[in-house]
């Protein structure tokens, strides 16, 4: 086969493998059996071995890097990753709503999002290419964990448009993966992780990307750092835009026209939490209009236009029998 034909075949394989990966890991609706995906992947690996000049860093074969790092570099976020103020009761939510409406001088709409209990990360794309992934760190300086984040299949290595942007999201470990991992750890006499958040953090802190790749991590993106550059006018439109680029967002989000609707949403999810395949520790409530977000601004640490409602910590009901058994 000559180079020109090989180039065309490589391009076709990239497109097919990226589409199938998107259907499986982002839409959760695969259109071909795994065997077909694996066959195409083997074809691409072979072509890249035959024509090394055709192996690019955004190739589907490059998700799991080879080299083991000896440490993580520090990286500065383009814009600070803010914290979130907390609400612990309905009254706290009504107080938040009153402050927001006073600051805005009008009624506002909100977007409610499940607060995924993982760890916040930042993903930088240049001309559509995933170039840098970092932990939140202290909000300004994080750690470069690009190699580990590339192993998360729902993170696109190349976007559907060649845009330059910084995206924020929560990386997490699904509960089923957490249980499987802890079972394996216990069988090896290793200390199990206390919860999926620690397991996700521990996995993203692996210096060998091949270990991170085995931990079946996932991500939901929840914001665009430089959202002003994109032309969207609301947070919900921003999330739709991220979906159109190929990102995975959490589909349980809901636009609420009033704090009453927000309170209903929060109450609804308080009981439904155990049915989710991942842990959540609350609900994040955000003013939808970007103009109003701008008007309300931020304190030194967190936005005035968002708040995190935290679920009461699950009281662990220890029956007398458990105590007897534990002594
Ligand atoms: C962009 C804003 C600030 C509004 C924002 N900030 C968030 N977080 C900040 C505090 N974070 C944090 N993490 C560690 C230490 C201190 N703060 C963890 C992320 C969000 C987290 C989630 C989620 N988990 O599902 C979400 N759907 N939306 C968020 N939105």
Note the pLDDT tens digit of each residue in 265-307. 999 999 999 999 999 999 999 999 999 999 999 999 999 999 9
Split at pLDDT 50, 70, 90, the class of 65 is confident
pLDDT at 66: 78
Q: Give the predicted TM-score (pTM) of the model.
A: 0.94
- pLDDT (tens digit, 9 = 90+) per residue, 185-202? 999 999 999 999 999 999
By percentage, how much of the chain surpasses pLDDT 90?
94
- Which ligand 1 atom is nearest residue 220's CA? 25
User: How many A from CA of 60 to the centre of ligand 1?
Assistant: 29
Cα 224–chain centre separation: 12
The rounded mean pLDDT for the chain is 95
What residues are annotated to the active site?
115
Ligand 1 atom 18: residue of nearest CA:
120
Query: Would you say the ipTM is above 0.90?
Result: yes
User: How many A from CA of 83 to the centre of ligand 1?
Assistant: 6
Ligand 1 atom 13: residue of nearest CA:
120
Split at pLDDT 50, 70, 90, the class of 327 is low
Q: Compute CA distances 17 → 20, 55, 59, 93, 298, whole Å.
A: 5, 14, 9, 45, 42
User: Within 6 Å (CB) of ligand 1, which residues are found?
Assistant: 82-84, 113, 115-116, 120, 136, 168, 170, 222-223, 284, 286, 303, 306
Which of the listed residues 77, 116, 120 should we mutate to test ligand 1's pocket, taking the one with most ligand atoms within 8 A of CB? 120
User: How many A from CA of 84 to the centre of ligand 1?
Assistant: 6
User: How many A from CA of 168 to the centre of ligand 1?
Assistant: 9
Name all contacts of 258-264 with Cβ < 8 Å and 24+ positions apart.
258/107, 259/93, 259/94, 259/96, 259/97, 259/110, 261/110, 262/93, 262/97, 262/110, 262/112, 263/90, 263/93
Quote the CA–CA distance of 141 and 162 in Å, as a whole number.
26
């Amino acid at each position: 086969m000559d180079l020109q034909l090989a180039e065309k075949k490589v391009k076709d394989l990239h497109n097919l493998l990226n589409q199938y990966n998107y259907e499986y890991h982002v839409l959760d609706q695969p259109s071909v059996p795994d065997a077909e995906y694996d066959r195409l992947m083997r074809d691409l690996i072979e072509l890249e071995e035959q024509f090394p000049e055709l192996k690019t860093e955004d190739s589907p074969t490059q998700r799991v890097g080879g080299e083991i790092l000896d440490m993580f570099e520090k990286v500065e976020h383009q814009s600070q990753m803010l914290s979130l103020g907390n609400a612990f009761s309905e009254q706290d939510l009504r107080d938040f709503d009153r402050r927001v409406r006073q600051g805005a001088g009008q009624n506002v709409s909100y977007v409610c999002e499940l607060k995924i209990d993982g760890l916040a990360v930042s993903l930088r794309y240049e001309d559509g290419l995933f170039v840098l992934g970092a932990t939140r760190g202290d909000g300004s300086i994080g750690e470069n964990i690009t190699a580990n984040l590339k192993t998360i299949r729902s993170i696109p290595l190349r976007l559907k448009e060649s845009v330059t942007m910084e995206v924020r999201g929560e990386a997490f470990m699904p509960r089923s993966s957490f249980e499987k991992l802890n079972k394996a750890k216990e069988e090896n006499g290793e200390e199990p992780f206390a919860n999926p958040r620690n397991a996700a953090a521990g996995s993203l802190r692996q210096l060998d990307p091949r270990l991170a790749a085995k931990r079946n991590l996932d991500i939901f993106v929840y914001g665009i750092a430089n959202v002003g550059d994109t032309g969207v006018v609301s947070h919900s439109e921003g999330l739709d835009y991220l979906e159109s680029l190929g990102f995975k967002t959490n589909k349980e989000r809901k636009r609420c026209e009033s704090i009453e609707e927000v309170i209903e949403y929060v109450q609804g999810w308080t009981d439904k939490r155990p049915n989710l395949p991942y842990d959540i520790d609350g609900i994040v409530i955000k003013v939808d209009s970007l103009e109003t977000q701008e008007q309300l601004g931020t304190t030194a640490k967190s936005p005035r236009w968002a708040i995190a409602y935290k679920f009461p910590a699950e009281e662990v009901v220890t029956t007398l029998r458990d105590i007897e058994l534990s002594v």
